[in-house]
Amino acid sequence: DEVPRWLVDRFRVALPADRTAVWGASLGAELALAMALRHPQLFGVVLAASPGGGFRPPAALPAPLPRTYLLAGDDEPFFVDNATRWAEALAAAGAEVTMATRPGEHGGSFWYHELPRMVAWAFAG
């Protein structure tokens, strides 16, 4: 699928999906997952920090699947469980997935320190 014409016209860019990531934290991480699954022609990479809120992987995941980096802090067990659920479902469907747990709790400081690592993973090489 091609990048939609309106996107090219409005923002004057047409990056390939493998060079375009969507990032979110907490409920925003679940939105990032949903956006990438719904629009694989736009987002080839998902960076999801502490996904939580109840959005669960569908029984049948669409193709193509985005490369996905999931992160959760050791001090936020609900979010570790949800990130792990997503990592397992995506990996079982054939996606490239990295799941990281690190010391930290739910919040901006934890995500701020992890974002450079996530971006490096997404665009290395």
The percentage of the chain sitting over the pLDDT mark of 70, rounded to a whole number, equals 94
Q: What is the pTM of this model?
A: 0.88
Q: Give tens-digit pLDDT for 73-89.
A: 999 999 999 999 999 99
In sequence order, the 6+-apart residues with CB closer than 8 A to the CB of 71 are 47, 48, 49, 50, 83, 99, 100, 101, 102, 111, 114, 118
- Whether residue 117 contacts residue 13, with contact meaning beta carbons closer than 8 Å, is answered with no
pLDDT band per the 50, 70, 90 thresholds, residue 114: very high
- Over 70: is that where the pLDDT of 122 sits? yes
- The pLDDT value recorded for residue 29 is 97
Q: Give tens-digit pLDDT for 25-42.
A: 999 999 999 999 998 888
Measure the CA–CA gap between 62 and 38, rounded to whole angstroms.
8
